[in-house]
Amino acid sequence: MRIGTIRSLLTVPAVFAVVLCVHTAQPAAQGTRGGGAAEATPPSRPAPARDLTGVWMKATPPGVQSFNGATWTPGVPPPLTAWGLEQLKGNRSNNTGDYTLDQTNDPVLIKCFPPGVPRVYFHPYPFEIIQTPKAVLQVFEYDHFLRRFWVDGRELPTDPDLLWMGNSVGRWADDSTFVVETVGFDLRTWIDRAGTPHSDQLKVTERFRRVSFDRLELDFIMEDPIALAKPWTATGYFELRTDWELGEISCSGDYLEWPGA
Amino acid sequence: MKKSLITLGVAIVAVWAVTMPALAHHGGAAFDQTDRITFSGTVTELRFANPHVLIFFDVKTEAGATEQWSGWLTAPNKLARAGWTKRTLNPGDEITIAGSRHKGGSHILQIEMLVGPDGKELPRFED
């Protein structure tokens, strides 16, 4: 990346800094949660059948292992193939602290490129599910990405276009489990913030399990015969926020030219 | 009055833009958690925008001089879910504000406590 003017020198690091700050989990930030996770939660109502509608926010129960920080299985490296390990060397992540903001080539940080799937789940903002007869829609507050999970019976494409957020189909496995399969991801995306690479053979399976009225557990299964020696799995935990509405965030509009403070 | 406040705000941003190389590695790690300070200050601007809501405020030193400071909060969407609007703080509001100071020594805080002009603590998170 060429840096020509003083303004570029000033704004580009500022963007990295800002995006890092916003995108990084802030453990201290939970200090003023009223009551919060340490208290027993009242019993929840049962989940409605075949219904994921609403605004969901990541909320990992205390003591439960889940994805966090920069990668899907903190402390356990991804099961990369030799090809995957080689590709990883070229991905200079700032979120792991291995590279500075000036050194990183993370496309999300330096260009506001779409994060892809399932990396989009790392952004600490809610998503909303909207169900229509032909497709279940997943809208992310972060950069208002929209995913369509076609439920009209079509098959997963065997020769998909490589899209930033992939090509998805969905089906109900039972009244509380919705399974989404996604293939065909743009090669410029990483599958986590640590720079874990993927090939055009990546398939992501998400099992949305609504375990009660206001709790969703989401199993991620990442399979890529070229990049991953075996499936890489993780589970996320989400809470329904009935009084929340998504606002607007534009990475390109809000972050790239933010002068900092 | 409003124009001079805007001018002041622009000047503040300009000052920070010039000093940005020292702030290039911002983020949580850029604030010194052991260097916590508390101020009584007067709001000059609330910038209620992504990626961070910023509060610009003036602080009177013991010597009687005025220092210009700013404080970082989280994203406006999160504060909105906690009840904030872009009018929650306004120029002239007297606030008590505390936080970790930026490591580079600039007049920037990561806000950890904020009391509004009515004496009530303002929420900083959506939960």
State pLDDT tens for residues A104-155: 999 999 999 999 999 999 999 999 999 999 999 999 999 999 999 999 999 9
DSSP string, A147-205: EEEE-SSPPPPSS---BTT-EEEEEEEETTEEEEEEE-B-TT--SSTT-----TT-EEE
Question: What is the count of residue pairs from A and B with beta carbons less than 8 Å apart?
Answer: 104
User: Among all residues of chain A, which has the CA nearest to that of B102?
Assistant: A261
Q: Percent of chain A at pLDDT above 70?
A: 83
- Which of 1.10.1200.10, 3.90.420.10, 3.30.750.24, 2.40.128.20 is the CATH number of A6-26+49-255? 2.40.128.20
Residues of chain B contacting A17 with CB distance shorter than 8 Å: 23-27, 30
Residue-range definition of the domain harbouring residue B49: 2-115
Q: Does A139 touch chain B (CB under 8 A)?
A: no
Per DSSP (E only), the strands in chain A are: 54-58, 127-131, 135-140, 146-150, 167-174, 177-183, 203-212, 215-223, 232-240
Res. B28: pLDDT tops 60: yes
pLDDT mean over A73-88: 97
**Alpha-carbon Rg of chain A, whole angstroms?**
19
Q: What is the pLDDT of residue B127?
A: 85
Res. A24: pLDDT tops 50: no
A142-198 pLDDT per residue, tens: 999 999 999 999 999 999 999 999 999 999 999 999 999 999 999 999 999 999 999
For tokens 């790690």, the residue is B29
Q: Is residue B121 part of a domain?
A: no
Q: What is the pLDDT of residue A19?
A: 46
Q: What is the pLDDT of residue A5?
A: 37
Q: Is residue B104 part of a domain?
A: yes
Sign of the torsion formed by the C-alpha atoms of A45, A48, A52 and A55: negative
Residue A213 to residue A216: CA distance in whole angstroms: 8
B56, β-bridge pairs = B45, B70
Res. B9: pLDDT tops 50: no
CB contact under 8 A, A247 and B51: no
CB contact under 8 A, A249 and B75: yes
Pairing state between β A167-174 and A146-150: parallel
CB contact under 8 A, A13 and B80: no
Longest Cα–Cα distance of chain B, Å, equals 40
Would you list the domain boundaries of chain A?
Answer: 6-26+49-255
CB contact under 8 A, A249 and B50: yes
Smallest CA–CA separation between B41 and chain A, in Å?
A: 17
Smallest CA–CA separation between A131 and chain B, in Å?
A: 24
pLDDT mean over A34-51: 71
How confident is residue B3, by pLDDT bands cut at 50, 70 and 90? low
Q: What is the pLDDT of residue B103?
A: 86
Q: What is the pLDDT of residue A8?
A: 39
Residue A106 to residue A94: CA distance in whole angstroms: 7
Q: Is residue B126 part of a domain?
A: no
Q: What is the pLDDT of residue B19?
A: 37
Residue A164 to residue A25: CA distance in whole angstroms: 24
Residues of chain B contacting A16 with CB distance shorter than 8 Å: 24
Query: In terms of pLDDT, which residue wins out, A209 or B10?
Result: A209
CB A147 within 8 A of CB A138: yes
What integer best gives the mean pLDDT of chain A?
87
Q: Is residue B59 part of a domain?
A: yes
Instruction: Give the CATH number of the domain where residue B66 resides.
Output: 2.40.50.140
Res. A91: pLDDT tops 80: yes
Q: What is the pLDDT of residue A30?
A: 35
Smallest CA–CA separation between B90 and chain A, in Å?
A: 18
B80-119 pLDDT per residue, tens: 999 999 999 999 999 999 999 998 889 999 999 999 999 9
Number of domains making up chain B: 1
Q: Does A16 touch chain B (CB under 8 A)?
A: yes
Pairing state between β B94-102 and A167-174: unpaired
Q: Is residue B65 part of a domain?
A: yes
Question: What's the DSSP call for residue A210?
Answer: E
- Cα B42 to chain centroid, rounded: 10
Q: Does A164 touch chain B (CB under 8 A)?
A: no
How confident is residue A39, by pLDDT bands cut at 50, 70 and 90? low
Residue A133 to residue A205: CA distance in whole angstroms: 21
pLDDT mean over B47-63: 96
Residue B70 to residue B47: CA distance in whole angstroms: 10
* Nearest CB neighbour to B49, from listed A29, A32, A254: A254
What integer best gives the mean pLDDT of chain B?
84
* Nearest CB neighbour to A255, from listed B17, B51, B70: B51
How confident is residue B44, by pLDDT bands cut at 50, 70 and 90? very high
Closest CA to A253 of A152, A130, A146, A144: A144
CB contact under 8 A, B28 and A21: yes
Q: Is residue B39 part of a domain?
A: yes
